[in-house]
C-alpha cells in the first residue's frame, strides 16, 4: 500500500505541471485514435495471416523461427525479433488475430509517452508538447499503429535507439552502448530501411573515437564500441546462423537487390528532393508540390542554422535526419509510408523545435496555433475509421474459412487464392486454429481436394498458378459466394 500511495503522490505532483496536464490530454486523444473501432478497420491480409500462422506455431511450441518475414522487394528475410516480441499478444487474445494489432497499437501509444519524456530531457517541455501534438494526430503514424506489421514499430525503436546512443556517447557508458547495439539490431529486424541509420551512427561513433584519439584514452571508447557490436551480433545471430546454414541465401539476395534489380540509384544529393517531397506529403497529410517541399527544407535549414549555437541537440537530430534521408533516397522504387519509418520522428521533432523556438511567444504565438490547427484539420479527413463503414477483414476471412471447413471431405486438401497466390494465409490461419489444417502452402504432397478463393474474376481450371497447375483439377465440385469472393471446390 505504501508503494501505491508513493506512486500516486508522485503522479499528483507531476500533474501539477500545466505542460504535463496538456500531455495527458494529448495521450488520451492519441490512444483513442489508435484503438477506436480497431477490429472493424484492422488490416488482415496476406502478410498478417502469414505472421499469425507463425505466431500460433510458436505459442504451441511447434516451431521457433530463426528468420522473420521476407521483404516485399528482393525476398530478403528480416530477423525474427518481431515474431517473438508480438507473439504474447496473440496468446492474450485467445488466438484471435486482433491480438497482435492491439499490441502494435499499445506500443504506438507508449511511443507518445516515451517521446514526451525523452524530448523533455533533451530539449524542454514546450518542444516535447508541440512535437507530441504532431505525433498524436499524424495520420501516417496512426495508420501504421492500427494493424500488425513489423515496420509499424520503427518510430518507437528509432526513438529509443537515438536516445540511448546519444546518452552512451555522452557518458561513455558500456551498459548504454550494449542497449544501443541491441536496439540497432532490433530496428534493422523490423525493416531493412533502418539500415539507412548505419551512416549517421557510424559517423557518430568515428567522431567519438576521434575525440579520444590519445593512446591512453582510446581503449575505453574502443571497448564501449566493442560492447555495442557484441550486443548487435547477439540479437542478429539467429539470422546469421540461418545464412550460414543456407549458403548465405539472405546475403546473396541482399546483394542482388542492390546490384541487379535497378531499385537502387546513384543520383546523389539530388535524389533527396523528390524523396523529401514524398516524405513531407506523408508527414503533413497533404500532397505538396516539389517547389513547396524544397521551400520547407530550406526554411528548416535556415531556422536550424540560426539556432546552431544552442546547447540543445537539435544539430544531432538534423544530422540524423539528413543522412538517413540521403540513404533512403538511394532507393529509386515507389516509396510508400512505412519506408519512412526511421524518419518520421526526426521530421516531427525538427518541426516541433522550430515552431517552439520561433513562435511560442506572445507576438507570434498565433502562427503556432494556426499551424497546429491547420495540421490537425488536414489529418481528420484521412481518419477513415471515424465515419466510414468498417471493412471487417478478419470477419470476412473467418467466413471464407468456415465455408471451406464445412465442405472439406478429404483427409488432405489444399487451399489457394487468385489472383494473389499468397493472400490465402488469412483463411489458412482460421482453418489451422480450428484443427482443420490444409496441406502446407507450396507443398509437393498430393491433396485430394483443392479450394480456390477467387478475390476477383477468375477461371481456376487451367489457371497456370503453381498450386492449381500442380493439383491439375478437371472438375468443379461446388461453388460458394460470400461477400465479394467466390470459392471453388475442385477435384480431379
Most confident of 156-160, 272-276, 461-465: 156-160
The answer as to whether 308 is a domain residue is yes
Q: Are 471 and 426 members of one domain?
A: yes
Model pLDDT for residues 400-446, shown as the tens digit of each residue:
999 999 999 888 999 999 988 788 999 999 999 999 999 998 888 88
- Nearest Cα to 383, choosing from 90, 78, 139? 139
Instruction: Name residues whose C-beta falls within 8 Å of residue 392's C-beta, 6 or more positions apart in sequence.
Output: 40
Domain boundary among 360, 379, 413: 360
- Nearest Cα to 75, choosing from 255, 214, 242? 255
Q: What is the pLDDT averaged over residues 473-479?
A: 91
Model pLDDT for residues 177-228, shown as the tens digit of each residue:
999 999 999 999 999 899 999 999 999 999 988 877 665 566 788 899 999 9
Residue 162's pLDDT is 98
Q: Are 356 and 414 members of one domain?
A: no
Q: Are 356 and 398 members of one domain?
A: no
Asked if residue 261 has pLDDT above 60, the reply is no
Q: Are 421 and 484 members of one domain?
A: yes
In this prediction, residue 73 has a pLDDT band, given cuts at 50, 70 and 90, of: low
Asked if residue 260 has pLDDT above 80, the reply is no
Alpha-carbon distances, residue 301 vs 44, 330, 354 (angstroms): 41, 21, 10
Q: Are 410 and 329 members of one domain?
A: no
Domain boundary among 360, 376, 410: 360
Model pLDDT for residues 301-310, shown as the tens digit of each residue:
887 777 766 6
Residue 474's pLDDT is 87
For residue 62, give the 3-state DSSP assignment.
coil
- Nearest Cα to 159, choosing from 126, 127, 194, 124? 194
Q: What is the pLDDT averaged over residues 449-456?
A: 92
Q: Are 457 and 399 members of one domain?
A: yes
Asked if residue 259 has pLDDT above 70, the reply is no
Domain boundary among 313, 344, 360: 360
Inter-residue contact 432 to 469 (CB < 8 Å): no
Residue 251's pLDDT is 82
The answer as to whether 117 is a domain residue is no
State the sign of the Cα–Cα–Cα–Cα dihedral 288, 289, 290, 292.
negative
Question: What's the mean per-residue pLDDT of the chain?
Answer: 91
Residue 214's pLDDT is 63
Q: Are 271 and 353 members of one domain?
A: yes
Q: Are 404 and 454 members of one domain?
A: yes
The answer as to whether 84 is a domain residue is no
Q: Are 337 and 405 members of one domain?
A: no
Q: What is the pLDDT averaged over residues 229-247?
A: 90
Q: What is the pLDDT averaged over residues 7-33?
A: 91
Give dist(CA 347, CA 126) in Å, integer. 17
The span from the first CA to the last CA of the chain, in angstroms, equals: 70
Asked if residue 36 has pLDDT above 60, the reply is yes
Inter-residue contact 348 to 134 (CB < 8 Å): yes
The answer as to whether 11 is a domain residue is no
The answer as to whether 74 is a domain residue is no
- Reading the block at residue 61, the C-alpha cell is 511450441
Higher pLDDT, 472 or 116: 116
Q: Are 351 and 433 members of one domain?
A: no
The answer as to whether 101 is a domain residue is no
CA 83 distance to own-chain centroid: 13
Q: In what order do the strands lie in the sheet with 485-491?
A: 413-418, 449-454, 485-491, 475-482
Instruction: Quickly list DSSP for 210-229.
Output: HHT-SHHHHHHHHHHHHHHH
The answer as to whether 140 is a domain residue is no
Domain that holds residue 326: 265-360
Inter-residue contact 371 to 145 (CB < 8 Å): no
Asked if residue 471 has pLDDT above 70, the reply is yes
- Reading the block at residue 131, the C-alpha cell is 512535437
Model pLDDT for residues 239-252, shown as the tens digit of each residue:
888 888 888 888 88
- Picking from 1-5, 96-100, 292-296, which range would have the lowest pLDDT averaged per residue? 1-5
Report the 10 Å Cβ neighbour count for 64: 13
Instruction: Name residues whose C-beta falls within 8 Å of residue 74's C-beta, 6 or more positions apart in sequence.
Output: 253, 254, 256, 257, 261, 263
Helices of type H across 260-363: 272-284, 290-306, 314-329, 344-359
The answer as to whether 93 is a domain residue is no
Q: Are 348 and 414 members of one domain?
A: no
HSE (CB half, 13 Å, CA atoms) of 75?
3
Task: Report the DSSP pairing between strands 413-418 and 485-491.
Answer: unpaired
Asked if residue 265 has pLDDT above 60, the reply is no
Total domains in the fold of the chain? 2
Asked if residue 68 has pLDDT above 80, the reply is yes
Q: Are 413 and 331 members of one domain?
A: no
Amino acid at each position: 500500500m505504501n508503494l501505491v500511495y508513493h506512486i500516486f503522490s508522485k503522479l499528483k505532483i507531476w500533474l501539477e505541471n500545466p505542460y504535463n496536464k496538456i500531455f495527458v490530454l494529448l495521450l488520451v486523444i492519441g490512444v483513442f485514435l489508435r484503438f477506436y473501432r480497431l477490429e472493424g478497420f484492422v488490416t488482415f491480409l496476406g502478410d498478417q495471416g502469414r505472421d499469425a500462422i507463425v505466431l500460433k506455431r510458436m505459442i504451441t511450441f511447434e516451431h521457433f523461427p530463426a528468420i522473420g518475414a521476407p521483404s516485399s522487394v528482393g525476398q530478403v528475410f528480416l530477423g525474427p525479433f518481431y515474431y517473438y516480441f508480438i507473439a504474447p499478444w496473440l496468446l492474450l487474445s485467445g488466438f484471435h488475430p486482433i491480438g497482435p494489432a492491439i499490441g502494435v497499437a499499445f506500443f504506438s501509444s507508449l511511443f507518445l509517452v516515451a517521446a514526451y519524456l525523452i524530448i523533455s530531457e533533451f530539449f524542454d517541455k514546450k518542444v516535447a508538447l508541440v512535437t507530441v501534438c504532431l505525433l498524436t494526430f499524424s495520420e501516417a503514424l496512426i495508420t501504421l499503429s492500427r494493424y500488425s506489421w513489423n515496420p509499424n514499430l520503427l518510430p518507437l525503436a528509432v526513438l529509443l535507439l537515438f536516445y540511448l546512443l546519444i546518452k552512451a556517447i555522452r557518458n561513455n557508458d558500456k551498459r548504454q552502448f550494449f542497449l544501443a547495439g541491441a536496439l540497432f539490431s532490433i530496428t534493422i529486424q523490423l525493416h531493412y530501411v533502418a539500415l539507412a541509420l548505419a551512416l549517421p551512427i557510424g559517423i557518430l561513433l568515428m567522431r567519438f573515437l576521434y575525440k579520444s584519439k590519445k593512446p591512453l584514452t582510446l581503449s575505453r571508447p574502443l571497448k564501449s564500441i566493442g560492447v555495442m557490436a557484441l550486443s548487435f551480433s547477439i540479437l542478429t545471430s539467429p539470422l546469421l546462423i540461418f545464412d550460414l546454414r543456407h549458403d548465405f541465401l539472405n546475403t546473396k539476395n541482399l546483394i542482388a537487390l542492390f546490384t541487379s534489380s535497378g531499385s537502387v540509384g546513384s543520383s546523389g544529393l539530388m535524389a533527396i528532393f523528390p524523396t523529401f517531397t514524398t516524405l513531407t506529403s506523408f508527414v503533413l497529410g497533404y500532397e505538396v508540390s516539389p517547389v513547396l517541399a524544397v521551400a520547407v527544407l530550406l526554411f528548416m535549414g535556415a531556422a536550424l542554422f540560426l539556432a546552431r549555437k544552442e546547447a540543445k541537440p537539435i544539430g544531432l537530430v538534423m544530422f540524423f535526419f539528413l543522412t538517413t534521408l540521403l540513404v533512403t533516397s538511394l532507393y529509386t522504387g515507389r516509396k510508400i509510408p512505412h519506408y519512412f519509418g526511421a524518419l518520421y520522428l526526426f521530421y516531427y521533432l525538427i518541426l516541433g523545435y522550430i515552431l517552439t523556438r520561433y513562435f511560442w511567444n506572445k507576438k507570434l504565438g498565433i502562427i503556432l496555433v494556426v499551424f497546429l490547427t491547420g495540421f490537425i484539420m488536414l489529418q481528420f479527413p484521412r481518419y477513415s475509421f471515424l465515419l466510414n463503414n468498417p471493412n471487417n477483414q478478419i470477419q470476412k476471412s473467418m467466413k471464407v474459412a468456415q465455408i471451406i471447413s464445412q465442405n472439406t471431405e478429404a483427409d488432405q486438401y489444399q487451399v489457394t487464392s487468385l489472383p494473389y497466390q499468397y493472400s490465402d494465409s488469412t483463411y489458412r490461419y482460421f482453418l489451422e486454429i480450428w484443427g482443420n489444417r490444409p496441406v502446407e502452402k507450396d507443398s509437393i504432397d498430393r491433396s485430394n481436394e483443392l479450394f480456390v478463393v477467387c478475390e476477383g474474376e477468375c477461371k481456376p481450371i487451367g489457371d497456370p498458378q503453381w498450386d492449381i497447375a500442380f493439383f491439375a483439377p478437371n472438375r468443379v465440385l461446388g461453388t460458394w459466394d460470400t461477400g465479394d469472393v467466390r470459392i471453388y471446390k475442385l477435384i480431379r
